[in-house]
Amino acid sequence: MSTTTHLMTADELMVLDDEPNRHELIKGELLTMSPIGFPHARTTMNLAVLLVNFLRENNLGVAVPELGFILERNPDTVLGPDIAFIAHERLGTTPPGFFVGPPDLAVEVRSPSDSKPAVNRKTALWLELGAKVVWNVDPRKRTVEVCRAGAEPKLFHEADELVDDIVPGFRVHVSEIFE
């Protein structure tokens, strides 16, 4: 006798009612994440405000929190970064629901429960599935690691200025992200 595992689709994920948990799909397998803690939430909000204000002033695109991105179909992969940037030229008409395709920038804020190998796997998955850049933000170490496919990660410390051409002209002292 054999057993069959049901793989979830992006459409099923969209209507999943499991508050307050957050979910992602990797090749149809559901991943459940607990609600975030205060340092994670504060860091995410600080960086989101800095990005949104800059993007509005310069009309470069949009930054959104926790939006699901459909990155693969059959089986489906849907990831939702803490913050995502999508350049204007890629926005087009946005249908309701998840965004189809990767963001230009995926920002992942590290939680205390996130192991370094897990962060590395997710970063590699983002880049493999089309994100141009991933920023891994660590509130405990007060650092931002900028990762691109085929390049060595660049680590920015609290005293550094974060500069990345994925968002042309955006510059911020890393310390501002953690205030």
CATH of the domain at 125: 3.90.1570.10
For residue 94, being part of any structural domain is answered with yes
Closest CA to 125 of 84, 71, 67, 65: 71
The pLDDT tens digits for 2-29 are 555 689 999 999 999 887 788 999 999 9
pLDDT at 63: 96
For residue 31, being part of any structural domain is answered with no
Cis peptide before 20 (omega within 30 of 0): yes
The pLDDT tens digits for 94-146 are 778 999 999 999 999 999 889 999 999 999 999 999 999 999 999 999 999 99
Structural domain boundaries enclosing 87:
36-177
For residue 41, being part of any structural domain is answered with yes
User: Residue 39 CB: number of other CB atoms within 10 A?
Assistant: 15
For residue 25, being part of any structural domain is answered with no
| Residue 5 vs residue 171, higher pLDDT | 171
For residue 11, being part of any structural domain is answered with no
Question: How many structural domains is the chain composed of?
Answer: 1
The pLDDT tens digits for 66-96 are 999 999 999 999 999 999 999 998 887 777 8
Closest CA to 156 of 137, 169, 170: 137
